[in-house]
Structure 1
């Protein structure tokens, strides 16, 4: 299942589209840690501190708003 992970960080919100639910679960387990990271497109990405994180199944329709 693919969807969009929505990460809330100190000064920004990050949307990661078209990711497997397992990536979301990996990030969710690290919520509240100083260095939240995961592997995206064969690269380790460090998002820093993330809390909370949400999941939206499928892609976000940016023209409609959700």
Structure 2
């Protein structure tokens, strides 16, 4: 199942669209760590400190905000 991950960082909110739920779970398991990282598009991405994270099934309709 694919969806959108919503990551809260110190100064930002990051949206990662069209990712597998398994990648989201990998990020969620690292929640609260100083360096949250995962593999996206065959590259390791370090998001820094992330807490909390949320999952939204499917894509976000940005015209309506959900």
In the TM superposition, residue 51 of structure 1 has moved relative to its aligned partner by 0.1
- Mark the runs of 5 or more structure 1 residues left unpaired by the alignment: none
CA distance in 1: counterparts of 2:43 and 2:24, whole angstroms = 16
Query: C-alpha displacement at 1:65, in angstroms?
Result: 1.1
**Equivalent-residue separation in structure 2 for 1:57 and 1:15 (angstroms):** 13
**TM-score, normalised by the number of residues in structure 1:** 0.99
TM-score (norm: length of structure 2): 0.99
- Per the alignment, residue 58 of structure 2 pairs with 58
Q: Would you tell me which structure has more strand in proportion to its own residues?
A: 1
Runs of 4+ in 1 over 6 A off after TM superposition: none
Q: Could you say what the CA RMSD is over the residues aligned between the two structures, in angstroms? A: 0.3
1:41 equivalenced with 2:6 (yes/no): no
Q: Take 1:12 and 1:51, find their aligned partners in 2: how far apart are those partners? A: 11
When the two structures are aligned, how many residues end up with a matched partner? 66
